[in-house]
Amino acid sequence: MRKRTFRVLGLGFVILLLISAVTSDRQVGFAQQASKMRWDIVTFTSWNPPTFKEGGATFASATDGTFIKLTGSGTFGPGAADPVTGTGTWETFTSSRTSTAKGTYTVTGLVSFQAAPGALPAVFVDQIGPLANASAGLAVLRVTYTNADGSSAGTGILIVSCHLPGAPDTIFEGVIATKGTVTYFDRALTMPGVDGNRTVFHRLTS
Residue 50 pLDDT > 60? yes
SS3 of the chain: the string is CHHHHHHHHHHHHHHHHHHHHHHCCCCCEECCCCCEEEEEEEEEEEECCEEEEECCCEEEECCCCCEEEECCEEEECCCCCCCCEEEEEEEEECCCCCEEEEEEEEEEEEEEEEEECCCCCCCCEECCCCHHHEEEEEEEEEEEEEECCCCEEEEEEEEEEECCCCCCCCCCCEEEEEECCEEECEECCCECCECCCEEEEEEECC
Lowest-confidence region among 74-88, 119-133, 146-160, 182-196 = 74-88
User: In this predicted structure, what is the pLDDT of residue 28?
Assistant: 45
Residue 13 pLDDT > 50? no
User: In this predicted structure, what is the pLDDT of residue 79?
Assistant: 79
Q: At 205, is the pLDDT very low, low, confident or very high (cuts 50, 70, 90)? A: confident
Amino acid at 132: A
Q: Rounded to the nearest 5°, which phi and psi values hold at 2?
A: -65, -40
Q: Rounded to the nearest 5°, which phi and psi values hold at 134?
A: -65, 145
User: In this predicted structure, what is the pLDDT of residue 1?
Assistant: 37
> Could you read off the pLDDT of 100-147 as tens digits, one per residue?
999 999 999 999 999 999 999 999 999 999 999 999 999 999 999 999
Domain count, the chain: 1
Q: What is the pTM of this model?
A: 0.86
Rounded to a whole number of angstroms, the CA Rg of the chain reads 16
Residue 3 pLDDT > 70? no
Range of the domain at 123: 2-204
**Cα separation, 48 vs 155, whole angstroms:** 40
Q: At 80, is the pLDDT very low, low, confident or very high (cuts 50, 70, 90)? A: confident
CA distances 91 to 85, 138, 147, 148, 176, Å, are 20, 23, 9, 10, 13
